[in-house]
């Protein structure tokens, strides 16, 4: 899957032109694009996209590209704005939720009809147990869940287990961005066994107890500055 991560609206025309230049029509319409607006104001953001594509209809350009979802088009607490935007779109799903916290906020997102795909994070939003409740509420509402995983390897492992434990998770977000230094070696440096994608495009879930991770104790000890022991009395 190919995600286009957009940091500023002004960089979007270049991103879109490169996609059109490098990707075949079959790929562009395959539904493999996920576009991330990172909470930017949707009007300015889509105006930049439409200018790059030579389109005039703001909300149809991404649908014509068969984008799988538009992620975080508005601030995370703009419940009314997200609902209005979702109502205006015909086939383009809206995703988000990685920066929302607590079961109560996700219930609001669901009840207010803000998203088609929820993206909680087992480290940032709540723990794995609470995120399973979020997934159950989403399932009742007919929504998908695709956990946000952009953290270290331990966080990825926690969200991997969450993704495997819920029935409405069609995708696993797998952090990999070598140009910014976000490589598997950097991401999983605390793990003895890095997480990898197999030839079928899947990530194997460890069958060891707990999250199944094995820490690289030698590497961690090498970079340890100080240690603090907390006893039961504390």
Which string of DSSP letters, residue by residue, matches 164-184? Answer: HH-TT--------BGGGTB-H
pLDDT at residue number 47: 56
Query: Are the C-beta atoms of 128 and 161 separated by less than 8 Å?
Result: yes
Query: Are the C-beta atoms of 149 and 172 separated by less than 8 Å?
Result: yes
Q: Quickly tell me which residue has 């929302």 as its tokens.
A: 100
Report DSSP letters for 118-155, one per residue.
E---TTTTS-HHHHHHHHHHHHHTT-EE-----S-HHH
Which residues are bridge partners to 182 per DSSP? 177
- Rounded-to-integer distance, Cα 76 and Cα 106, Å: 11
The pTM of the full predicted model, rounded to 2 decimals, is 0.81
User: Do the domain assignments include residue 140?
Assistant: yes
User: Do the domain assignments include residue 230?
Assistant: no
pLDDT at residue number 43: 61
Q: Quickly tell me which residue has 């956990």 as its tokens.
A: 147
User: Do the domain assignments include residue 192?
Assistant: no
- Rounded-to-integer distance, Cα 34 and Cα 186, Å: 24
pLDDT at residue number 185: 87
User: Do the domain assignments include residue 221?
Assistant: no
Query: Are the C-beta atoms of 151 and 179 separated by less than 8 Å?
Result: no
User: Do the domain assignments include residue 228?
Assistant: no
Q: Chunked in runs of 10, what are the mean pLDDT values of the chain (234 residues)?
A: 44 54 52 72 60 57 77 90 86 92 96 97 92 96 94 92 94 84 88 89 89 92 88 72
Range of the domain at 175: 2-186
Q: How many structural domains comprise the chain?
A: 1
- The CATH number that applies at residue 107 is 3.20.20.120
pLDDT at residue number 59: 57
Enumerate residues 6+ apart whose C-beta is below 8 A from 136.
Answer: 166
Element (H, E) at 90: none
pLDDT at residue number 165: 93
Average confidence score pLDDT of the chain: 81
- Rounded-to-integer distance, Cα 185 and Cα 178, Å: 10
pLDDT at residue number 53: 58
- Rounded-to-integer distance, Cα 77 and Cα 139, Å: 22
User: Do the domain assignments include residue 211?
Assistant: no
């Amino acid at each position: 899957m190919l995600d286009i991560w957009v940091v500023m609206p002004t960089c979007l025309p270049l991103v879109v032109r490169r996609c059109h230049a490098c990707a075949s029509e079959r790929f562009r319409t395959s539904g493999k694009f996920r576009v991330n607006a990172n909470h930017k104001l949707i009007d300015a953001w889509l105006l930049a996209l439409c200018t790059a594509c030579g389109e005039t209809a703001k909300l149809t350009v991404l649908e014509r590209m068969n984008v799988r979802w538009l992620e975080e088009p508005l601030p995370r607490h703009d419940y009314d704005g997200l609902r209005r935007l979702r109502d205006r779109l015909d086939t383009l799903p809206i995703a988000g939720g990685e920066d929302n916290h607590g079961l109560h906020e996700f219930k609001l997102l669901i009840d207010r009809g803000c998203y088609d795909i929820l993206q909680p994070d087992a480290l940032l939003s709540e723990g794995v147990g609470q995120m399973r409740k979020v997934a159950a509420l989403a399932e009742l509402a007919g929504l998908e869940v695709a956990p946000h995983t952009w953290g270290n390897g331990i966080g990825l492992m926690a969200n991997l287990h969450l993704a495997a434990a819920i029935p409405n998770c069609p995708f696993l977000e797998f952090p990999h961005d070598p140009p910014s230094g976000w490589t598997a070696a950097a991401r999983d440096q605390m793990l003895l066994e890095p997480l990898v994608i197999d030839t079928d495009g899947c990530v194997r879930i460890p069958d060891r107890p707990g999250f199944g991770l094995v820490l690289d104790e030698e590497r961690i000890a090498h970079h340890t500055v100080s240690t603090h022991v907390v006893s039961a009395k504390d």
